[in-house]
């Protein structure tokens, strides 16, 4: 029973390590399309073949940044090979995470509603 429980923990540990290492590796990229990126989360498939990397962007154009990151995925994966102590480093798939964008929009709507209520 104990073995089954350790597999998800290992998956989370690897995803966490990938998230931290990618944050450092992305800073080294010279691609002007890749702005100030924050890695929000990493989801690794059970067989470690693929990893979805969700990112947000402080400065830059999300579509262009996503394209730049996906083009650099092989280079970034190679960087992970050198850092991670695992046999299979997943293929990286970058996806812009709109969660923070939606949260900001909701906060703006709430502020607007509160401001109009205060005027009444």
Q: What pLDDT is stored for residue 5 in this prediction?
A: 46
Cβ burial of 89 (10 Å; 0-12, 13-18, 19+) is: buried
Task: Supply the CATH classification number for the domain 2-119.
Answer: 3.30.300.20
Q: What pLDDT is stored for residue 8 in this prediction?
A: 66
More confident residue, 85 or 83: 83
| Residue 95, Ramachandran bin (φ over 0: left; ψ between -120 and 50: alpha; else beta) | beta
Residue 103 CB: number of other CB atoms within 10 A?
10
Flag the least confident range among 33-47, 62-76, 103-117: 103-117
Angle (nearest 5°) at CA 9 between 26 and 74: 25
């Amino acid at each position: 029973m104990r073995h089954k429980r350790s597999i998800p923990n290992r998956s989370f540990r690897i995803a966490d390590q990938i998230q931290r290492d990618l944050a450092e590796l992305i800073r080294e990229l010279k691609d002007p399309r890749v702005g100030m990126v924050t890695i929000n989360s990493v989801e690794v498939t059970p067989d470690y073949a693929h990893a979805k990397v969700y990112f947000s962007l402080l400065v830059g154009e999300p579509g262009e940044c996503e394209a730049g990151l996906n083009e650099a995925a092989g280079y970034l994966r190679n960087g992970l090979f050198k850092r991670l102590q695992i046999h299979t480093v997943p293929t990286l798939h970058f996806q812009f995470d709109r969660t923070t964008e939606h949260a900001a929009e909701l906060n703006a709507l709430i502020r607007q509603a509160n401001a109009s209520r205060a005027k009444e």
